[in-house]
């Protein structure tokens, strides 16, 4: 470590070379779920086998929550011992923002 107070302690790199952590582990499954949600008929839910998830249902729900918030999409989820269910949340017309 340098004793010069004006020197950097850590190495710098170009921002384009920085790994994008959120593009990793859950991106494929979240992208597929979002694509399928977009095709869902009203009053239907996706039925995703837990055994096919690349991570725990809690981590997938968290990743999905982050993605849907960014998109302004409202969804709900539920699960049982075998499946994760995901559907679009429809607000009653009296709650629609102006």
Name the pTM for this structure.
0.69
Burial 71-97 (b: 16+ CB within 10 A, else e): eeeebebeeeeebbebbbeeeeeeeee
- Which domains are delineated in the chain? 24-88 (3.30.1370)
Measured CA to CA, the distance from residue 8 to residue 16 in angstroms comes to 20
Determine the pLDDT at residue 16. Answer: 84
Beta bridge partners of 46: 86
d(C-alpha 41, C-alpha 21), whole Å: 33
Report the candidate in 69, 94, 74 with the shortest Cα–Cα distance to residue 86.
74
Stretches where the chain sits below pLDDT 70 are 1-5, 20-24, 91-98
pLDDT the model gives residue 98: 53
């Amino acid at each position: 470590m340098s004793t010069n107070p004006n020197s950097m302690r850590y190495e710098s790199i170009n921002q384009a070379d920085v790994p994008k952590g959120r593009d990793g582990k859950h991106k494929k499954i979240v992208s597929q779920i979002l694509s399928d949600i977009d095709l869902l008929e009203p009053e239907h839910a996706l039925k995703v086998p837990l055994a096919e998830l690349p991570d725990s249902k809690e981590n997938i729900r968290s990743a999905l929550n982050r993605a849907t918030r960014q998109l302004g999409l409202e969804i709900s989820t539920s699960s049982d011992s075998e499946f994760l269910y995901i559907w679009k949340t429809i607000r009653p017309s009296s709650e629609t923002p102006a």
